[in-house]
Structure formats: structure tokens, C-alpha cells
Amino acid sequence: MMYKIKYLIFLMILFSCSSEPKSGWDKYLFSDDIISAEEFIDQDLLSTHITTLSSDDFQGRKPATLGGKKTVKYLIDSFQEIGLEPGNPNGSWTQDVKMLGVKSNLRSQFITDDERWVLRTGDDIIGNSYIKKQNVNLERVGVIFCGYGVTAPEYKWDDYKGVDVKGKVVIILVNDPPIMIDDEYDNDMFKGKAMTYYGRWSYKYEEALRRGAAGAIVIHESGPAGYPFSVLQAGHDSESLTIEASKSLKFQGWLPLSSAQKLFSMSGLDFSSMKKEALSPDFQPKNMDIKFTSRIANTYRYVNSKNVIAKYEGVDSLLKDEYIIYTAHWDHLGMDKKLKDDKVYNGANDNALGTAMVLAAAKSFSQLKTGTKRSILFLAVTAEEDGLLGAKYYSMNPLYPLEKTLAVINIDAMGNTFGKTKDLIIIGKGNSNLDNIVESAAKQDKKYVIPDAEPEKGFYYRSDHFAFAKMGVPSLYVDGGFDVRGKGKDFGRSMKDIYTKNHYHSLSDEVHSDWVYDGIIEDNGILLRVGYAIAQHNEWPSWNENTEFKSLRDAMLRN
Ligand SMILES: [Zn+2]
């Protein structure tokens, strides 16, 4: 009996050891070559890059400053030292990013036959014009309420219904249409409680522009916006940067709720009942019995900065013309010279850390013995803090075709500086099958994958990968977990809260003496293996059905 049991145990051990050959993504995630190359990601390497980039010497890495230039040079030197090739096909390490800086001064009115309302800029309305002219005027243009301003074929939803809004100003509600069934979000519509891109103000302006509107004004409400109007008021009159487009709205702006209510009542409508109507798929845009005038005085200038790009060329003669991009923004907020003591926004976590992780991945790839089939691009982008502008510029002026770009892996402020975790967060989980690759790679480190806790805040739309997603390229954005090994979730959560409250976009986002690197190293390894697997596997990552980006990718690949 005893003997039999021992024999059985022996058989069981034998069975579990004789690992079956891996298949699918696992075949590459478990490749000996990438696993040995991963050893090059270590604390020394990461902390050297993070400490240097976030030192006062780099002045907070603001684009178009001395600190910005220093950063670009440091990145070029680092990629060169690793032994990569210049990533720009013209032989250089950089892509010039030309941004337009505009400061708009508005004088706006709503006018009916018997009333004229002169709006106080900053309180009653805020807005600007990205038209590169000193004077942009909208004179008594028509105003039309277009519900949520959404055209989403995958939800059979169209707020415009083919109504001509050319030359008019469209008034739009904030966020996704909140479709409810029995007081619960309908998960089949606009991803339920989570925000889709249709809910973002930038989408609403873009759709209005596509429709030929002269202007678009979003109605701010604190609940669905997720932040108070004061956030928009802060700095509304300072210069804002953009990537110059061939076409822009003459006016894009916001109305606080109080102004919206006044606007609707001046034009003989009730705001709350119109809002209710906008929840129906049968909603019809409503011409409002009112005109809008705004005289906008613009001052503008060009601001130049650079994306840094390095290339690790694939070895397969056909597949080397296909690409995987690792990206991280190198820029941060710069300095505030008015301050007395500490003047520098060091941006250690946001995003010296992510930049260091991309450099570490580059280093590891360079150590592969048999290379990768496809090519890997390492793209450190500028001006994320100004609205993803470096990434946006690249996506509008790609150095390699986007239809040959399989995936983008973005690293931004992962913040896992308090130890190894059992979990890893995928922001925008459910968007693409990149999730499955991450999940398998995480499993290798005995980690589980979770979605972000607040999908209604739309974090997926707030960092550089999104500039690529918006063009249709499957894009991944992960965040460090909080289920810290040996310390638990509460500890990790409190560490994250401390960062958000005390350090995020503050002078104190610095390398702290209590930082622990093994969590970053582990997560860096996961992202490394994910990129490697995509570079090797014959299957391309793809968007899931019902994501707002799938039709773009399908169209791109058809052509
Ligand atoms: Zn930031």
C-alpha cells in the first residue's frame, strides 16, 4: 500500500514536471531568451535613470526649456549607449513636435429678440479658439442643442440625426448618455458606469468639428464631469498648447450649469426636460431660439519640442517592417520661479519612472541573443502634461505606418514604489485582447490582473497610449497594483492615496528614501515579456467587439 502511494506520488511529480510545450502567447512569454534578457532590468539601472531625470538639474523637464533640452539629450545618450538605432527613418533620434500656443480673450453674448446676455468670461462661460488668427469672430450664429453630441454606430446612437449644424454653435451635455434600467446602468450601452471616449469633452468637440459646426460648448455638471467647474476656471485664461490642425472649431468652450439653465430658459426651453429627452435614442437636435456672438482676441506663438525615438530592428525579413511601440512621456511641469525654496516639479513618479522603465526595456531587448521578428520602437514623448501632445503629434505624423503598428504599450506614473504586489491593474480592461497577454505574463509572476477601480473617471483617455487608440492602434495602459505582498491591500491603497493627495503634480513628486524597487522591476519585466510576445507571435492584438476604436482599426487594416 505504502509502496503504491509512493509510486503514485512519483508519477504525479513526473507528470507535473514534464511541462507540455507552451502554445499561443505563452510560447513567447516563457522564451528563455527574453527571460534571461529580463535580468538586465535591475534597481541600479532604474534608480540611476529616475534619480537623474528627476533631479533639480533637469528643472522639471518642461518642453521648450533648458530642462527639456537636457532631458532630450540624456535620452538620446542613453539609447545610443544601449546600442539601438536612431528611430527616425531620416537617421535622427528625434521627431520635431511643433505646437501652437494660444491665449484667447473672449467677449461673448447670447441674444434673443428681446434680451441680450453679456457673459462674464471665467464665471458664465470659458472657452478659446485654436484658429491661428488674432481676431476670430462669431456673429449672431445659430445655436442648436445636440444632446450628448454622440455618434456611436456600435450602440446605434446618433445625437445629430443628420441635422445640419454647419456654421452653428452646438450645445452638448457632458459625459456618456447615462442609460439606466431600473436605476442600474445598462451595461450594454456605453459600457454602463464606465466612461467611453464618447463621454470626453475632446470627443464632443471633434465630432462637432466633423459635422462642420462653428463652435461647440459643453455644459459642465460636477457629478457627471467628475470634477467641479473651478477646475476648468483655474488657468482658463492662460496659454494653452495644441497640435495645429488643418481645421479647428472657431470656438470651443464650457458653460457652468447655472449658465446652461439661463440659456435654455432665455430660449423658451426647460433644461431638465431637454436633458431627459436626450436620453432617448430617438432624441432630435433642437434649434434654440437664440443667437451666440463671441469676439475672440488671440495671441499665439509656436512652441517647439521633441519626441525621442530609438529602434530595435527585427530580424525577420518580412516582419521587421511591423512595429511594437513602448512609450512614456519624458516631460513634466517644469519650475515655478516665484517659489522661495523648492522650485522644481521633479516628476519622479510622473514620469521619470515610466521613462526609466522604457529605457530598461530597451536595454533588455538589446541583450536578446536571437532578436525579435518584428521591430520595437522606444518612443519617449513630449508634452503629455499639456494634453498628450507629443503622442498626438506622432499619431498624426507617424514615422512608421500605424497599420503596421501592432500595439502600443504606455508607461505613465505606475507608482509601485512600495514593493511587489499580487495584482496588476489594467486601465481600460476589456478593450482589447492585450488584456489576455498581460494576464498570462502576470500569471508567470503569480500575479492577478484587475480593472481600474474608477472606470467612470475615464483614465484610459488621459495618457499617451490614447492618442494611438484614437487612431485605432490597440493600446495598453497598466498601473501598479496595491495588493502588496506581505502587507496587504490596505497598505498598498494607503500608499497610493498618499501619492495622489500629497505628491501628484506637486513639488514633492521626488524619489523618496523609502522607495522599494522590486515591484517596479517585476512589472517592468511583465511589460517586457508582453512586448516580446507580440513581436514574435503570428496573431495580431485586436480590439474587442463594441469598443469605440474597433471600427477604426478594421478600416485601417482593410485599406
Ligand atoms: Zn502628470
| Distance set, CA 114 to CA 107, 142, 259, 265, 292 (Å) | 20, 16, 18, 13, 14
- The verdict on 237 and 324 lying in the same domain is no
Ligand 1 centroid to 447 CA: how many Å?
27
Read off the pLDDT of each residue in 227-240 and give the average, rounded to a whole number: 84
- Based on the structure, what is the number of domains in the chain? 2
- Could you tell me if residue 213 is inside a domain? yes
Please check whether residues 189 and 253 belong to one and the same domain. Answer: yes
Please provide the DSSP assignment of 201-268 as one string.
HHHHHHHHHHTT-SEEEEEE-HHHHSS-HHHHHTTTTS-EEEE--SS--SEEEEEEHHHHHHHHHHTT
- Is position 28 within any domain? no
Region 197-217 average pLDDT: 96
Whether 175 is in a domain gets the answer yes
Per-residue model confidence (pLDDT) at position 313 = 98
Are residues 335 and 296 part of one domain? no
For 129-171, the three-class secondary structure string (H helix, E strand, C coil) is: CCCCCCEEEEEEEEEEECCCCCEEHHHCEECCCCCCCCCCEEE
Q: How far apart are CA 245 and CA 249, in angstroms?
A: 10
* Residue 546 within any structural domain of the chain: no
> For residue 415, how far is its CA from the centre of ligand 1 (angstroms)?
12
Domain boundary among 278, 301, 324: 301
Whether residues 318 and 213 fall in one domain: no
Nearest alpha-carbon partner for 27 in 520, 439, 440? 440
Ligand 1 centroid – CA 350 distance (Å): 5
In the listed set 254, 269, 301, which residue is the last one of a domain according to the structure? 301
247: domain CATH number?
Answer: 3.50.30
- Residue 113 alpha carbon to ligand 1 centre in Å: 47
Confidence of residue 456 (pLDDT cuts 50, 70, 90): confident
429 domain-assigned: yes
Structural domain harbouring 141 = 100-301
User: In angstroms, what is the span from residue 331 Cα to ligand 1's centroid?
Assistant: 9
CATH code of residue 407: 3.40.630.10
Q: Residue 36 falls within a domain, yes or no? A: no
Distance CA 182, CA 184 (A): 5
Q: Helix 43-53 to helix 354-366 angle, to the nearest 10 degrees?
A: 140
CB 214 within 8 A of CB 169: yes
pLDDT digits (tens, 9 = 90+) for 150-203: 999 889 999 999 999 999 999 999 999 999 999 999 999 999 988 999 999 999
pLDDT for 80-89, tens place per residue? 999 999 999 9
Encode 155-165: b = buried (16+ Cβ within 10 Å), e = exposed: bebbbbeebeb
Name the more confident of 541 and 4. 541
Q: Which of 38-42, 133-137, 144-148, 194-198 is predicted with the least confidence, judged by mean pLDDT?
A: 194-198
Residues 371 and 288 in one domain: no
Lowest mean pLDDT among 349-358, 397-406, 495-504: 495-504
> What is the per-residue DSSP string for 66-105?
HHHHHHHHHHHHHHHHHTPEESSTTS-SEEEEEEEEEEEE
Cell 465630432 sits on residue: 207
Do residues 175 and 144 both lie within one domain? yes
More confident residue, 71 or 502: 71
511 φ, ψ (degrees, to nearest 5): -70, 120
Shared-domain flag, residues 373 and 283: no
Determine the distance separating the centroid of ligand 1 and the alpha carbon of 61, expressed in angstroms: 12
297 and 395, same domain (yes or no): no
- CA 347 – ligand 1 centroid, Å: 8
Do 297 and 432 belong to one domain?
A: no
- The CA 288 to ligand 1 mean position distance, Å, reads 39
**What is the CA(442)–ligand 1 centre distance, in A?**
26
Distance 388 CA to ligand 1 centre (A): 10
Domain end marker among 301, 324, 340: 301
Q: Are residues 191 and 104 in the same domain?
A: yes
- Report whether 351 contacts 330 (CB < 8 A): yes
Residue 125 forms part of a structural domain: yes
Cα-to-centroid distance, 462 and ligand 1 (Å): 10
CA of 264 to the centre of ligand 1 (A): 37
On whether both 482 and 351 belong to a single domain, the answer is: yes
- CA 115 to ligand 1 centroid distance, Å: 44
Mean pLDDT taken over the chain: 94
Answer whether residue 503 is part of any domain: yes
Burial degree of 431 (CB within 10 A; 0-12, 13-18, 19+) = buried
Q: What is the mean pLDDT of residues 302-322?
A: 97
**Residue (of 61, 54, 82, 500) closest to 326 by Cα position:** 82
Query: Do 264 and 335 share a structural domain?
Result: no
378 strand-pairing partners: 310, 326
The mean pLDDT of 390-399, rounded to a whole number, is 97
